Chains A and B, each alone.
Chain A
Amino acid sequence: MTHTPAPSAPLFCARDLRLSFGLTEALRGVDLTIRAGEILAIMGPSGSGKSTLLHVLAGVLVPAGGSVVYDGRCISTMNEAERARLRLTEFGFVFQFGQLLPDLSALDNVSIPLLLSGTGRREALARAQELLAVLGLQDCGDKRPPQLSGGQAQRVALARALVARPRVLFADEPTGSLDSLASEQVMELLAATVRSFGVTMVVVTHDPRTAAYADREVIVRDGQIRTGFDL
């Protein structure tokens, strides 16, 4: 299931990224270009530096060396507040589990990013409800996360990541805690939604079936990109 990438301008340009945690060199000179609208899978063995790379690209971690240029802006030289602002307005995130606030209903959880960026409560709830419906969760809005199944919770997390209409979606093992059927459903929905919204997606996974939804894949090994068709 490979799609031909639409020819478009590079959105991310990472050059010679380096980052160590103490003695562990997590990134050892990574070069990576990501085009707008594409779905990129980052694969590799455990501990190879996939999550670290994702976090550096998203401006969560600051690289010790090298630079990340996103849409003409250099993320690696921004201050924390600017990066937080960028993450809030332009990026969305989906993780393996535990990203929903347990006290809030699914609907409220989805509405939070909108509220954070200043949308009114009523409008935020309406847009959240709309998106939940798109993801087949129209009946789950009032439930709280502990009352949701794993697959439902991941779809709510997806809705939350997409509700503010980000340009880029970062997903770290989005199906890691799900069984193969649920994982298939979530991934299919994820890919379809991302494409229909025109969102660029970076997905970290070690599951080839998840990677199969991507336009392109790179493999990280020992903090470096080893194979793949990176340009």
Chain B
Amino acid sequence: MKTLTLARLLLAHDRAALLRLLGIVCGVAVGTALFLTLWGFSQGITARTERATWPDYATDGTAGIHASELVGELPPDQIIISGNSAVLYPSLVDHFLDKRIGVVRIAATEDSTVAVPGANPVPRPGEYLASPAAAALIAEYPPELLGNRYGQSAGVLGDEALGSPGSLLIVRGATVEEMRLQSDAFVVSSLAGKAFSTSAFRIAAIVGSIAILLPVLLLISIITRLGAAQRQETFATLRLMGATPAQIARLAVLETGITSLLGAVAGGALAWALSPLFAQIQIDNERFFAADIQPSVPFALGIALLITVATTLVAWVRALRSQNTGLGASREIVEKKPGLWRLAPLLLGMVTLAGGGWLSSHYDLFSGLSEILFSILFVAGFVAILVGLVLAGPLLTWWASRFAARFSRSAAGVIAFARIKQHPQAAFRAVGGLVVAVFVVSFFFAAITIARVDTDDGAGAAEATDASLSGTGDATGNASERAAARPAPPLLHASLSGGYTVADMDAVQTQLEAAEGVTGVVVVSYLEGPAGEEAASSEGAAVIRATDAAVLGIPQAEVPDAPWIAVPPRYLPSAYVPSDADPAHPIQAAQFADIEELRPSYLLVAYGGDELMCERVRTTLLTSSLRLVMAPLTTAEMRDDGSANAFIQEYAYLANLGVLIATAVSGISMAVSTISSILDRRRTLALMRLTGMPHTALRRMIAAETLLPLFVVFLLSTALGFIVAQLLLSGLTEGRRFVDFSLLDPMYFVVLAISLLLATAAIVATFPTAHRSTALTATRFE
């Protein structure tokens, strides 16, 4: 209690000390909240994946027999399920406008005992259950656009079937007979989801968490040093008065212990309170249920306790160490000149990453092992680099300050750079968080230029198809000129189940052409010869009726005078265009002996109008008697499916979010440490102002003190981000690939600019305080 009394006495009138304690509470609170939230996300992803994967009957490896193999009646302890959730097979979903809707069909007996998540009872044939988000979407549009696709609504699907509150999922009831004809229908006796996560995701999660938490740790470390000079003086006076080092350390422990416990508990509460807000953050294009990302109370309390113990321990050790200087030592807090060893972890990390890439590319034989090895090396290397950056920073700052000091002309510069030279660690600590954030984001954006190369190849090919269809591209030569003359017909692509004949299709065609919005229907068939479909397509020949050529926008002049014509792939919308397709391959008359040799493969349906008309026609197709392999797709959707681009955008979004959080935290760090360094020199700076140093000189001094480390940071972390990405990629590809600067996402520069702006704002924000605390009346001069 004596310690407590002393502590209260010391704090009563010391504004810097009170500010410091308040800062510790806030800093620890923010840190704890961020940690718990990040943890919550990792838990939440597992939890929701486990729930959302229930329709993926194949995930647990116990998929039963195919529905067509079912003999006799369906027993009540089994159901037939077909269709997949969006998680594993995103191509097997329905589309509506820019949204994807998972559609699951289930056939069950009236007295079925199989539990279907969220569906109790299982919808009858012709009925469906929709997730809340899907139900809202259906209600928003006329039934001919969407609702009619699934039948009669039988209610809302329970949350236990959904990964996210935004999940679009439909569970349809079907008859056993319908299911027997479905190519992806299986008989199962139970349904259970399974949590899985790719190692890429796990790596990204670990690295991202570190990148966000490191700035917070630095912030806390800065806050605990607030007013250090004054504190050191007080402690020295206490020691002079006879206090033992242990007593003073106890004082520090008490202070830090209470404040960080307060902070940690507040942080837990903050994480809890903000979880509905954080739940809006999208990962894999899905929001979260708030409950999924709320850590359990015992866990949160445990973490709060752990954090308290850790900060208190650090405070104790630091207090004991600072007493070692003995009595009568100078009032100055001395910082040792940073040593060269500080570069070691950084270099080690770079070597590890480069080596990891190289190793995993050279030992492909044990691919499973190599992936684990690579994950470990990658994370280890990356963490070493992050920590290495923070360690190397002071040394580089010190070098830069020596260099800058030599060339500085103004009083502000001389004062600022001398300060940095004497306190490189403190100077760098202020911007250390930003280093980490900028490095991670630079690395990320550099690394994804590679993926961009890949997807751009794909997109380029797709554009070529598009160009030949729509005539807007600039494909080379004659083809493009011919293409330019053609109108751009928007098309829906509907894959047919097997077993249809040309004769069947004639009826369908007439019927469809009569439907609202349909402006043309083309049946695309392939010749079924000894070599089957493959022979035909390698020749580039899909067969259509000559009279349908106009629907695809093929000019009459190019159509040979024959009832059936063979059309090269470039005239058809497709996700995949063979690169060896001859661009000049002409349209020819189709050669076949019997019309029975033609196997209708898919329909191309032209719809005149906007995207709503497209959905109307899509609904018409889905509600017709046609048996389709999957829901009809537009050309754009065909291309989009399975593309890595959406995936990358997703990570880019998370990276940007992370870097902005880290930057905001770093901004606070910069402000606090600037104030702290002003308070430490308060008397002297006030005296300088008294002798006539103008405001501008004080401001310039503050700016220079922060901008130099900031400059070092940006140079270092952006450069290193690119170098590390290069090391890793060239290791992985055995030197075949390079970071392509021309493919850098402009977003990268936007994020960098925002970071710089935030940092500058943080510095400017300290001006008034700096001004006030060095005011002539704030200090008494004797």
Contact = CB atoms under 8 A, between A and B. Distances in A.
A111 B414 contact: yes
Given A95-B781, A146-B330, A173-B782, A104 B414 contact: yes
A102 interface: yes
B692 A103 contact: no
A81 interface: yes
Interface string B688-705: 111111110100000000
Given A112-B415, A116-B411, A120-B409, A103 B421 contact: yes
Contact of A108 (B409, B414, B423, B681): B414
A99 B684 contact: yes
9 contacts: A55-B776, A61-B777, A88-B693, A93-B691, A102-B684, A113-B692, A144-B422, A146-B330, A172-B781
A121 interface: yes
Contact of B332 (A102, A104, A121, A173): A102
B684 A60 contact: no
A81 B694 contact: yes
Given A95-B687, A95-B781, A108-B418, 8 more contacts: A51-B782, A84-B689, A92-B691, A93-B691, A98-B684, A99-B684, A104-B418, A144-B422
A95 B776 CA distance: 14
Given A86-B692, A108-B414, A93 B687 contact: yes
B414 A112 contact: yes
B681 A102 contact: yes
B694 to A, nearest CB: 5
Query: Which of B409, B423, B681, B689 has most A Cβ within 10 Å?
Result: B409
Interface residues of B, number: 32
A87 B690 contact: yes
B227 to A, nearest CB: 16
A91 B692 CA distance: 9
Interface in A68-86: 81, 84-86
Contacts of B692: 84-89, 91, 113, 116
B781 A51 contact: yes
Nearest to B777: A61
B55 to A, nearest CB: 67
B231 interface: no
A103 B423 contact: yes
Contact of B419 (A89, A103, A112, A116): A103
A163 to B, nearest CB: 11
A176 interface: yes
A103 B330 CA distance: 13
A33 to B, nearest CB: 24
A201 interface: no
Contact of A176 (B331, B332, B419, B782): B782
B234 interface: no
Interface string A160-174: 010000000000110
Nearest to A122: B409
A115 B410 contact: yes
Contacts of B776: 55, 60-61
Query: Which of B688, B697, B782 has most A Cβ within 10 Å?
Result: B782
B538 interface: no
Contact of A121 (B408, B689, B697, B777): B408
Given A173-B782, A176-B782, A116 B418 contact: no
B738 to A, nearest CB: 44
Interface string A104-138: 11001001110110001100000000000000000
B690 A104 contact: no
Contact of A100 (B421, B422, B684): B684
Interface of A: 51, 55, 60-61, 81, 84-89, 91-93, 95-96, 98-105, 108, 111-113, 115-116, 120-121, 144, 146, 161, 172-173, 176
B782 A172 contact: yes
A100 B179 CA distance: 89
Nearest to B409: A121
A116 B690 CA distance: 13
Interface in B395-421: 408-411, 414-415, 418-419, 421
Contact of A101 (B681, B697, B780, B782): B681
Contacts of A144: 422
Interface string B760-782: 00000000000000001100111
Contacts of A89: 692
B540 to A, nearest CB: 76
Contacts of B149: none
B415 A146 contact: no
Nearest to A125: B414
A103 B782 contact: no
Contacts of B688: 101, 112
A168 to B, nearest CB: 12
B683 interface: yes
Contact of A103 (B411, B415, B687, B780): B415
A86 B422 CA distance: 32
Contacts of A172: 781-782
A61 to B, nearest CB: 7
B405 to A, nearest CB: 9
A55 B780 CA distance: 11
B418 A103 contact: yes
Nearest to B406: A121
Contacts of B781: 51, 55, 95, 172
A176 B781 CA distance: 12
B681 to A, nearest CB: 7
A103 B331 CA distance: 13
B683 A98 contact: yes
A31 B530 CA distance: 121
Contact of A112 (B331, B411, B694, B695): B411
Nearest to B693: A116
Given A116-B411, A121-B409, A87 B691 contact: yes
B782 A88 contact: no
A83 B409 CA distance: 24
Contacts of A173: 782
Given A112-B411, A112-B688, A120-B409, A101 B418 contact: yes
Contacts of B330: 146
A8 B690 CA distance: 28
B503 to A, nearest CB: 94
A146 B325 CA distance: 15
B782 A95 contact: yes
Nearest to B689: A84
Given A101-B681, A102-B681, A146-B332, A84 B782 contact: no
B586 to A, nearest CB: 79
Contacts of B695: 81
Contacts of B422: 102-103, 144
B677 to A, nearest CB: 10
A109 B147 CA distance: 80
Contact of B687 (A51, A86, A98, A102): A98
B409 A101 contact: no
B687 A99 contact: yes
Given A60-B776, A115-B410, A101 B694 contact: no
A60 B694 CA distance: 13
Interface string B653-691: 000000000000000000000000000010110011111
Interface in B88-129: none
Contacts of B691: 87-88, 91-93, 113, 161
Which 9 pairs show the lowest CB-CB distances between chains A and B? Answer: A88-B692, A87-B692, A115-B411, A103-B422, A103-B418, A146-B330, A146-B332, A116-B411, A103-B419
A60 B776 CA distance: 7
A115 B414 contact: yes
A9 B690 CA distance: 27
Contacts of A111: 414
A37 B410 CA distance: 32
Contacts of B418: 101, 103-105, 108
Nearest to A86: B692
A130 B780 CA distance: 32
Nearest to B416: A103
Query: Which of A88, A105, A172 has most B Cβ within 10 Å?
Result: A88
